[in-house]
């Protein structure tokens, strides 16, 4: 299991999602969240994208 997979597994375990979701639903949820992030940065300039990424990283931590 690579680091990304471990992070995803920990993310789901920290939220006790296993009681609600199977792997397919978790994947679809992640894809949906990535789509939302894509919409935020779609038309932004690079510097603004970096600012958004920093805000998202700070929110996750």
Q: Tell me the per-residue pLDDT of 1-40, one tens digit each, with 9 for 90 and over.
A: 788 889 888 998 999 878 887 888 888 989 999 998 888 7
Q: Is the pTM of this model over 0.85?
A: no
Interacting residues of 21 by C-beta distance below 8 A, sequence separation 6+ = 12, 29
**How far is residue 42's CA from residue 45's CA, in Å, rounded to a whole number?**
9
Q: Which of 54, 29, 30, 58 is nearest to 44 (CA)?
A: 54
The alpha carbon of 35 is separated from its chain's Cα centroid by a whole number of angstroms, namely: 10
- DSSP per-residue codes, 7-23: HHHHHHHHTTGGGT--H
């Amino acid at each position: 299991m690579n680091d990304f997979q471990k992070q995803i597994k920990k993310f789901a375990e920290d939220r006790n999602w296993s009681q609600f979701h199977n792997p397919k639903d978790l994947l679809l949820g992640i894809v949906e969240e990535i789509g939302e992030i894509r919409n935020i940065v779609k038309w932004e300039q690079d510097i603004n994208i970096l600012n958004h990424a920093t805000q998202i990283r700070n929110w996750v931590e």
